[in-house]
Structure 1
Amino acid sequence: MIEIGIVGGSGYGAVELIRLLQHHPNVTIKYVFSHSKNDEPISETFPHLSHLILNYTALDEKGVSCDVVFFATPSNVSKHLAPDLVDKGVKVIDLSGDFRLSNRHMYKTFYGEEAAPQQQLDAASYSIAEWSEVDWQHTKLIANPGCFPTSILLALHPLVVQEVIDTESIIIDSKTGVSGAGRSLAQHVHYAEMNENFSAYAIGKHKHKPEIEQYISTLSGKDINVTFTPHLVPMTRGILSTIYVKLNEYTTTEELQAIYKQYYDDKPFVRVRDIGIYPKTKEVYGSNFCDIGIYVDEINQMAIIVSVIDNLVKGASGQAIQNLNLLYGLDETTGLNQLPVYP
C-alpha cells in the first residue's frame, strides 16, 4: 500500500483528498496534518467523516514516515516544508502555487511573496495529468496545476500544438464557484456579498494568469500573453471557461471537432461533446471530468471553446490523485471513477 500524508487537513482540498482516497485500492491515509488542530479527531471539523478514525497531527518533517505527502495548503507554505520531505525521499504533490512558476520574479509579482529557490523550482514537475511526463524514478515533487489553468489549458492544448490559432489573440472568460476561495473568511465570499451577485475580480493580476502563459509559451516555443478575466458566481463548486481564439486559416466546426477527438479520445477524463452541445458545471459536479464543447464562427473565423470542471476535483484533489497514479504507474482512473453528482 502507498502510505499518504495530507498537509492542510482542515481545508476543502484536504477533505476532497480524503473523500476520493477512500475509494483508492492502493492507498492508505497515514497522516492528516494540522498544527492548529493537533490531536483532534477529524470528525470535529468535518462531522460527515465521523465514521473515519482519523486524528489530526502536527507536521514534523523529520519524523514523517510515509511515501507521498500532499500539500493542500495556501501558497507560501509548501515551499518552506516540502524540500525537507523531498530530501528524506518522500514524494510531494503540491496543490498550491509555490512550485508552478519557474520564473521567481513572476511569483513575487503575482503572489506577493519571495519564491522558492530556483533550483527547487527547476526540479519541480508541473503536471497537467493528461499531458504528464512524471514517473517514479525521476519525479520528486509535482506541482499540481491550478483550477482555472486546468480548465483552460486542457481546452487550449490541442489548438496550440496543432498551430491552428493565433496565439497573439487569446481571450479567456472564466467563472468559478466560491469554494475556490477556500474556508478562510473574507468579505467577498460573505453570503450577503456573494449571494444574488456576479462579479469580475483580480483583472489582469490573477495569480493563475502567468501559469497559463507559461504553459502555452512552452508549447508554442515563444512568449505568449493572454487576456484572462475570472468571475465569482454564487454557487459552491465548478468552473466554466469560455475561450475565444482567432483561427489561422479557414476551419469548420467539424474540422476543429476532429482535432479534439484526435487528442482526447484516449484520455478518460476529458469528454468532448458532440457538435452543438455545450457543457454545464452541474454535469461534472463531484467528478474528475473535464467536459469541452466547440463552436466555430465560420464567418468571422473565431473559435469558441467552452470547458467545465469541478474546481475541487479535476481542478485540485482529483487531478492530484491522477498524478499520484501516474507517478506509480497505475491506471490513471484508479480511485477516480465516481460519476458526477446530478442534479
Structure 2
Amino acid sequence: MESIKIGIIGGTGYTGAELLRLLARHPRAELRVLTSRQEAGKRADALFPALRGHCDAVFEVPDPERLAACDAVFFATPHGTAMQMAPALIERGVKVLDLSADFRLKDAAEFQRWYKLEHSAPAALAEAVYGLPELHREAIRRARLVACPGCYPTAVQLGLAPLLEAGLVDTRGLVADCKSGTSGGGREAKIGSLYCEVTESFKAYGVPGHRHLPEITQGLSGCAGETVGITFVPHLVPMSRGIHATLYARLRKPLADLRGLYAQRYAGEAFVDVLPVGDHPETRSVRGANVCRISPHLGPDGETVVVLSVIDNLVKGASGQAVQCFNLMFGLPETLGLDAPALAP
C-alpha cells in the first residue's frame, strides 16, 4: 500500500517525541520532514535515544516547499505558530493536525483573552474541526484542519459527555478536580518542574482560571445543548505521565443504571474503556496507551454522580489522539498504529 508522507513541525518536545514513537510503528506513515530550528542537523534518536533503531530522521529548518510536499503535517509547536503556517499548507492540499491551542477555541476573542495572542487566521479557525473522535468523528473524517484537544479537556469531556448528552444532570454545578503529571508542562526547563520542586509534594494551580477552562466549557456546552457552568481545578502530582479527573455532577432525576448509560454511549469505542461497577481506574493502567478508562459512581446521597476518568496526557491527551484523527482523515482503521497495550508496571 502507498505510504502517507508526514511532516512534523516542532518535534523536540514531549508531544513531538511521542508522535515520533507512535508514527515509527504506523504501517502507512512515512516521516519525510522533521523540523526544529534549534536542533537542525541533529538526528532525532540522538535527542531521544529511545528512538534508536526506530527513527533515523534528522531535524531541519522548516522549509515551506518541503512541508507542502507532505500529505499531512503535525504541529507540535508552541501556541501561535500553527496559525501562522497552517493556512498556506492547507491551500497547497496538505491536511493539518495542530496539537497546540491555536484552533481549539471557536471564539477568537476568547483565544486572545486566554493565550494573550491575536488570532491571525480567522478563516482557518472557522474551518477547524475539534479533534475528539468520540464526539466529532464524522466531521474529522472530512476535515482539512483538525484542532487536537488539550489533555485535561479530553479526560473531562469524555467523562461527562454521556450525562450531559442525556440531559441527566444540573449543567450549572459541574466540578472537575484534575491531577496531572509533570510532562503536561512541557519539556522546557522550568523551576516548577524540577525534580526537587515536584517530588514528595502535591499542589493545585490555575484556580482563578486555567487556559483549558474555556475549551472544557465549549466542549461540554456542545454536549449539553446549553452553556454549562463548571469549576475546574488542576493539580500537579509527582509523576511523569498521566491525568486523573474526578468529576462531580448532580442528577436531575434518579438513574437506575449509571454504568449502563456509559457502556451504551461508548459501545464500540476502541479507546474508551468503561470499567466494571465499583472499579477505580489508575493512571498507570493507561501509561503509554491511547485509551481513556472511565468509572462512573453514584454517591451515597443517591444524587451525586462521581466520574473517574484517566488518560495518558501525552497519548490520548495529545499525540495518540492526533494519530487517531490522522487515521480518520485518511480513511484508515482508527486503531492503526495505536493498539498497543499500556505499560505495566
What TM-score bracket applies, with the shorter chain setting the length?
over 0.9
After the TM superposition, which residues 232-311 of structure 1 pair with which residues of structure 2 at under 5 Å, given as runs?
Answer: 232-252=236-256, 255-311=257-313
Amino acid at match of 2:56: I
1:17 match? 19
1:128: Cα distance to partner? 0.4
Under a length normalisation based on structure 2, what TM-score does the superposition of the two structures give?
Answer: 0.96
Amino acid at match of 2:241: R
Amino acid at match of 2:207: I
1:115 match? 119
1:31: Cα distance to partner? 1.1
1:129 match? 133
2:316, 2:158 → 1: CA distance? 11
Amino acid at match of 1:133: E
Which one of the candidate residues 129, 137, 144 is aligned to 1:140?
Answer: 144
1:196 lines up with 2:200 in the alignment:
yes
After the TM superposition, which residues 4-153 of structure 1 pair with which residues of structure 2 at under 5 Å, given as runs?
Answer: 4-51=6-53, 52-64=55-67, 65-131=69-135, 132-134=137-139, 138-153=142-157
1:325 match? 327
1:160 match? 164
1:176 lines up with 2:176 in the alignment:
no
Amino acid at match of 1:106: E
| CA shift in 2, pair 1:281/1:135, >3 Å | closer
2:263, 2:118 → 1: CA distance? 41
Mean Cα deviation higher: 297-306 or 236-245:
297-306
1:240: Cα distance to partner? 0.2
Amino acid at match of 1:203: V
Amino acid at match of 1:220: A
Amino acid at match of 1:215: G
1:335, 1:204 → 2: CA distance? 39
Amino acid at match of 1:166: D
Kindly indicate whether the alpha-carbon contact (under 8 Å) linking 1:99 and 1:116 is maintained by their aligned counterparts in 2: no
Mean Cα deviation higher: 305-314 or 127-136:
127-136
Number of residues of Structure 1 aligned to a counterpart in Structure 2: 340
1:84: Cα distance to partner? 1.3
2:265, 2:59 → 1: CA distance? 42
Give the superposed CA RMSD: 1.2
1:219: Cα distance to partner? 2.2
| CA shift in 2, pair 1:300/1:257, >3 Å | closer
1:111, 1:133 → 2: CA distance? 29
Amino acid at match of 2:221: S
Amino acid at match of 2:104: R
Note the alpha carbon deviations across 1:168-226, whole angstroms, 9 max, x for none: 11000000000011110112111111111111011132111000101111222222221
1:300: Cα distance to partner? 4.6
SS in structure 2 of the partner of residue 320 of structure 1 = helix
1:115: Cα distance to partner? 2.1
Amino acid at match of 1:127: G
Mean Cα deviation higher: 112-121 or 144-153:
112-121
Which one of the candidate residues 336, 339, 342 is aligned to 1:340?
Answer: 342
SS in structure 1 of the partner of residue 177 of structure 2 = strand
Amino acid at match of 2:61: A
Note the alpha carbon deviations across 1:134-171, whole angstroms, 9 max, x for none: 355x4110000100011110111111110011111100
Identity of aligned residues (%): 40
1:102: Cα distance to partner? 0.6
Kindly indicate whether the alpha-carbon contact (under 8 Å) linking 2:22 and 2:338 is maintained by their aligned counterparts in 1: yes
Mean Cα deviation higher: 280-289 or 290-299:
290-299
Kindly indicate whether the alpha-carbon contact (under 8 Å) linking 1:7 and 1:59 is maintained by their aligned counterparts in 2: yes
1:48: Cα distance to partner? 2.3
Under a length normalisation based on structure 1, what TM-score does the superposition of the two structures give?
Answer: 0.96
Amino acid at match of 1:230: P
1:222, 1:256 → 2: CA distance? 22
